[in-house]
Amino acid sequence: MPLTDTAIRRSQPGPKPRKLADGKGLYLEVSPAGGRWWRLKYRIAGKEKRISLGTYPETSLRRAREKAESARELLASGMDPSEARKNEKARMAVEGAEAARVEAGLPPSDSFEQVAREWFATRREEWAPSYGEKIIRRLEADVFPWIGREPIAFITAPRLLTVLRRVESRGVVETAHRALENCS
């Protein structure tokens, strides 16, 4: 018989953890300390697993059933709900880190400027200090303001050519050639 909200509220902790079954793998685990956790027990690839769906009363019976149903849908499509949750957390962490970089005034991690600065850092020991300074100054003055924040995957040859034409228009053709060499 499925759980009811009244039965959940009346449940008392015992000397050992107790499981109040709702059905289809969903149950409420009542700890001896009085905590109540929604859990979903499932099998994937022959292994039994379980995931937490929240705590009671923060997660209501209805919401726990909804979460369990969405987890079952993932299982039906061949995905492990636990792995999907881990992947979502990782994606959110990466997005948060990217947002923090942008908020701090740094370029996104996949931007042309970030990749160019990493390239510069790995190669700078091979060059004389004055030569390295010229390269980074050239990139900062003539390239980064125009395409520095763009994702490197979206920078095409015509887009780079537009930036270099802007440098040539100042009458410094050699600088444009060297900037092209550095961007390559």
pLDDT at 150: 85
Domain 5-90 belongs in CATH node 3.30.160.390: yes
% pLDDT > 70, the chain? 99
- Tally Cβ neighbours within 10 Å of residue 83: 12
Helix (H) or strand (E) holding 9: helix 5-10
All CATH 3.30.160.390 domain ranges in the chain, comma separated = 5-90
Q: What is the mean pLDDT of residues 39-55?
A: 91
Mean pLDDT taken over the chain: 88
Residue 42's DSSP bridge partners are 49
Which of the following CATH numbers is that of domain 112-183: 3.40.50.1470, 1.10.10.10, 1.10.150.130, 3.40.50.300? 1.10.150.130
Q: Is the confidence at residue 90, as pLDDT, over 90?
A: no
Predicted local distance difference test score (pLDDT) of residue 4: 87
pLDDT at 119 over 80: yes
Which residue intervals of the chain bear CATH 1.10.150.130? 112-183
**In whole angstroms, what is the distance from residue 45 CA to residue 100 CA?**
39
Q: What is the pLDDT of residue 1?
A: 67
Residue 133 has pLDDT above 80, yes or no: yes
Tens digit of each residue's pLDDT (9 = 90 or more) over 141-155: 999 888 888 888 888
